[in-house]
Protein backbone atom coordinates (compact mmCIF):
# COMPACT_ATOMS: atom_id res chain seq x y z
CA UNK A 1 0.00 0.00 0.00
CA UNK A 2 1.30 3.44 -0.91
CA UNK A 3 2.15 5.89 1.85
CA UNK A 4 0.40 9.26 1.67
CA UNK A 5 2.66 12.31 1.67
CA UNK A 6 1.55 15.88 2.38
CA UNK A 7 3.85 18.62 1.06
CA UNK A 8 3.65 21.96 2.89
CA UNK A 9 5.66 24.83 1.40
CA UNK A 10 4.73 28.34 0.30
CA UNK A 11 6.77 28.03 -2.88
CA UNK A 12 4.97 26.27 -5.72
CA UNK A 13 8.22 25.36 -7.47
CA UNK A 14 9.42 23.49 -4.35
CA UNK A 15 6.15 21.59 -4.00
CA UNK A 16 6.07 20.65 -7.68
CA UNK A 17 9.70 19.58 -7.64
CA UNK A 18 9.22 17.29 -4.65
CA UNK A 19 6.02 15.92 -6.11
CA UNK A 20 7.74 14.97 -9.38
CA UNK A 21 10.46 13.13 -7.49
CA UNK A 22 8.02 11.33 -5.16
CA UNK A 23 5.89 10.17 -8.08
CA UNK A 24 8.87 8.17 -9.37
CA UNK A 25 8.64 5.95 -6.27
CA UNK A 26 5.79 3.43 -6.30
CA UNK A 27 5.75 3.38 -2.48
CA UNK A 28 4.65 7.01 -2.13
CA UNK A 29 1.64 9.08 -3.14
CA UNK A 30 1.34 12.87 -2.76
CA UNK A 31 -2.08 13.17 -1.15
CA UNK A 32 -2.06 16.96 -1.04
CA UNK A 33 -0.17 20.25 -1.15
CA UNK A 34 -0.45 23.27 1.12
CA UNK A 35 1.05 26.76 1.07
CA UNK A 36 1.06 27.26 4.84
CA UNK A 37 0.41 25.47 8.10
CA UNK A 38 -3.24 26.44 8.31
CA UNK A 39 -3.98 24.91 4.91
CA UNK A 40 -2.09 21.79 5.97
CA UNK A 41 -4.21 21.35 9.10
CA UNK A 42 -7.36 21.65 7.03
CA UNK A 43 -6.11 18.96 4.65
CA UNK A 44 -5.31 16.69 7.59
CA UNK A 45 -8.97 16.78 8.62
CA UNK A 46 -10.02 15.41 5.23
CA UNK A 47 -7.21 13.00 4.33
CA UNK A 48 -5.18 10.17 5.80
CA UNK A 49 -1.55 11.34 5.85
CA UNK A 50 1.45 9.16 6.69
CA UNK A 51 4.25 11.74 6.45
CA UNK A 52 4.35 15.56 6.31
CA UNK A 53 7.13 17.40 4.45
CA UNK A 54 7.04 20.79 6.18
CA UNK A 55 8.63 24.12 5.33
CA UNK A 56 9.61 26.38 8.23
CA UNK A 57 9.18 29.91 6.89
CA UNK A 58 5.60 30.36 5.69
CA UNK A 59 2.90 33.03 5.96
CA UNK A 60 -0.26 32.63 8.07
CA UNK A 61 1.13 29.69 10.08
CA UNK A 62 4.82 28.78 10.13
CA UNK A 63 6.28 25.31 10.25
CA UNK A 64 7.17 25.55 13.95
CA UNK A 65 3.66 26.71 14.79
CA UNK A 66 2.28 23.80 12.80
CA UNK A 67 4.39 21.27 14.70
CA UNK A 68 3.32 22.84 18.00
CA UNK A 69 -0.32 22.56 16.95
CA UNK A 70 0.13 18.91 16.00
CA UNK A 71 1.70 18.26 19.40
CA UNK A 72 -1.10 20.03 21.25
CA UNK A 73 -3.74 18.05 19.35
CA UNK A 74 -1.71 14.84 19.81
CA UNK A 75 -1.73 14.23 16.06
CA UNK A 76 0.97 11.60 15.68
CA UNK A 77 2.13 12.03 12.06
CA UNK A 78 5.87 12.02 11.30
CA UNK A 79 7.12 15.45 10.24
CA UNK A 80 10.18 16.04 8.08
CA UNK A 81 11.43 19.60 7.96
CA UNK A 82 12.18 21.27 4.64
CA UNK A 83 14.96 23.75 5.24
CA UNK A 84 17.59 25.94 3.59
CA UNK A 85 21.22 26.54 4.44
CA UNK A 86 20.54 29.62 6.60
CA UNK A 87 17.80 28.19 8.84
CA UNK A 88 19.89 26.17 11.30
CA UNK A 89 18.31 27.57 14.46
CA UNK A 90 14.75 27.11 13.20
CA UNK A 91 15.56 23.60 12.02
CA UNK A 92 17.04 22.70 15.41
CA UNK A 93 13.91 24.00 17.16
CA UNK A 94 11.80 21.86 14.84
CA UNK A 95 13.82 18.75 15.73
CA UNK A 96 13.48 19.61 19.43
CA UNK A 97 9.70 19.82 18.95
CA UNK A 98 9.67 16.29 17.59
CA UNK A 99 10.34 16.41 13.85
CA UNK A 100 11.73 13.11 12.57
CA UNK A 101 14.35 14.61 10.32
CA UNK A 102 15.19 17.38 7.90
CA UNK A 103 15.83 17.81 4.21
CA UNK A 104 17.48 20.62 2.30
CA UNK A 105 15.16 21.83 -0.43
CA UNK A 106 17.70 20.82 -3.08
CA UNK A 107 18.12 17.35 -1.57
CA UNK A 108 18.91 14.33 -3.71
CA UNK A 109 16.30 11.75 -4.68
CA UNK A 110 17.97 9.07 -2.56
CA UNK A 111 18.15 11.28 0.55
CA UNK A 112 14.48 12.18 0.14
CA UNK A 113 13.38 8.55 -0.01
CA UNK A 114 15.72 7.45 2.79
CA UNK A 115 14.54 10.18 5.16
CA UNK A 116 10.86 9.46 4.50
CA UNK A 117 11.36 5.72 4.98
CA UNK A 118 13.18 6.40 8.26
CA UNK A 119 10.32 8.63 9.48
CA UNK A 120 7.76 5.95 8.57
CA UNK A 121 9.66 3.47 10.75
CA UNK A 122 9.43 5.94 13.63
CA UNK A 123 13.13 6.74 13.58
CA UNK A 124 14.64 10.20 13.86
CA UNK A 125 17.29 10.66 11.20
CA UNK A 126 19.79 13.29 12.31
CA UNK A 127 23.32 13.64 10.99
CA UNK A 128 26.14 14.09 13.56
CA UNK A 129 26.78 17.70 12.52
CA UNK A 130 23.12 18.54 13.14
CA UNK A 131 23.22 16.86 16.55
CA UNK A 132 26.14 19.13 17.43
CA UNK A 133 24.06 22.15 16.40
CA UNK A 134 21.16 20.92 18.53
CA UNK A 135 23.43 20.60 21.55
CA UNK A 136 24.92 24.06 20.90
CA UNK A 137 21.49 25.68 20.66
CA UNK A 138 20.40 23.92 23.86
CA UNK A 139 23.53 25.06 25.69
CA UNK A 140 23.03 28.64 24.46
CA UNK A 141 19.39 28.60 25.58
CA UNK A 142 20.29 27.27 29.02
CA UNK A 143 23.01 29.92 29.44
CA UNK A 144 20.63 32.72 28.42
CA UNK A 145 18.05 31.44 30.90
CA UNK A 146 20.70 31.34 33.62
CA UNK A 147 21.78 34.90 32.82
CA UNK A 148 18.17 36.14 32.82
CA UNK A 149 17.48 34.54 36.18
CA UNK A 150 20.66 35.83 37.78
CA UNK A 151 19.87 38.84 39.95
CA UNK A 152 22.47 41.61 40.24
CA UNK A 153 24.21 41.41 43.60
CA UNK A 154 25.17 45.07 43.44
CA UNK A 155 22.99 47.85 44.84
CA UNK A 156 21.77 50.69 42.66
CA UNK A 157 24.50 52.98 44.00
CA UNK A 158 27.15 50.32 43.41
CA UNK A 159 25.88 49.79 39.86
CA UNK A 160 26.09 53.54 39.25
CA UNK A 161 29.65 53.58 40.52
CA UNK A 162 30.89 50.58 38.53
CA UNK A 163 29.34 52.04 35.39
CA UNK A 164 31.14 55.32 36.06
CA UNK A 165 34.38 53.46 36.69
CA UNK A 166 33.97 51.63 33.38
CA UNK A 167 33.79 55.02 31.65
CA UNK A 168 37.05 56.15 33.26
CA UNK A 169 35.65 58.46 35.96
CA UNK A 170 37.82 59.00 39.05
CA UNK A 171 36.53 58.68 42.61
CA UNK A 172 36.44 62.46 43.04
CA UNK A 173 34.33 62.90 39.91
CA UNK A 174 31.97 60.10 40.92
CA UNK A 175 31.57 61.61 44.39
CA UNK A 176 30.69 64.98 42.87
CA UNK A 177 28.10 63.46 40.51
CA UNK A 178 26.48 61.46 43.32
CA UNK A 179 26.64 64.25 45.89
CA UNK A 180 28.53 62.12 48.40
CA UNK A 181 31.97 62.19 50.01
CA UNK A 182 34.92 60.68 48.18
CA UNK A 183 35.56 58.32 51.09
CA UNK A 184 32.01 57.01 50.67
CA UNK A 185 32.77 56.19 47.04
CA UNK A 186 35.87 54.31 48.20
CA UNK A 187 33.74 52.37 50.69
CA UNK A 188 31.29 51.44 47.94
CA UNK A 189 34.18 50.31 45.74
CA UNK A 190 35.45 48.09 48.53
CA UNK A 191 32.02 46.48 48.77
CA UNK A 192 31.98 46.02 45.00
CA UNK A 193 35.40 44.33 45.06
CA UNK A 194 34.26 41.98 47.82
CA UNK A 195 31.00 41.07 46.06
CA UNK A 196 32.70 40.43 42.75
CA UNK A 197 35.74 38.78 44.33
CA UNK A 198 38.23 41.09 42.62
CA UNK A 199 41.11 43.33 43.67
CA UNK A 200 41.13 46.17 41.15
CA UNK A 201 38.97 48.57 39.20
CA UNK A 202 39.78 46.86 35.89
CA UNK A 203 38.89 43.44 37.27
CA UNK A 204 35.64 44.78 38.70
CA UNK A 205 34.65 46.25 35.35
CA UNK A 206 35.56 43.02 33.54
CA UNK A 207 33.46 40.83 35.85
CA UNK A 208 30.56 43.29 35.80
CA UNK A 209 30.52 43.15 31.98
CA UNK A 210 30.64 39.33 31.93
CA UNK A 211 27.72 39.14 34.35
CA UNK A 212 25.71 41.64 32.37
CA UNK A 213 25.62 44.30 35.09
CA UNK A 214 27.04 46.86 32.68
CA UNK A 215 27.43 47.03 28.91
CA UNK A 216 30.27 48.40 26.87
**CA–CA separation, 210 and 68 (whole Å):** 35
**CA–CA separation, 4 and 108 (whole Å):** 20
Q: Alpha-carbon dihedral of residues 184, 185, 188, 194, nearest 10 degrees?
A: -120
Is the Cβ–Cβ distance between 80 and 66 less than 8 Å? no
Q: From the first residue on, what is the mean pLDDT of each consecutive set of 10 residues in the chain (216 residues)?
A: 96 95 96 97 95 95 96 94 81 87 88 93 76 68 60 83 92 92 94 91 88 78
**CA–CA separation, 45 and 54 (whole Å):** 17
How much is the pLDDT for 49? 97
Whether the pTM exceeds 0.85: the reply is no
How much is the pLDDT for 209? 87
How much is the pLDDT for 213? 84
Torsion sign over Cα 152, 155, 156, 159 = negative
How much is the pLDDT for 189? 95
Q: Which domains does the chain have, with CATH numbers?
A: 3-144 (3.40.50.2300), 156-210 (1.10.10.10)
Amino acid sequence: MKKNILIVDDHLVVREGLKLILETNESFKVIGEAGNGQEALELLEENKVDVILLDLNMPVMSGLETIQHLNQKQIDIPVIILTTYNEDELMVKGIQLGAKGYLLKDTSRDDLFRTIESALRGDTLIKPEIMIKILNVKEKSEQEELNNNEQPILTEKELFIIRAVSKGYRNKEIAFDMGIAERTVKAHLTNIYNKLDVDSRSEAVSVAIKRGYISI
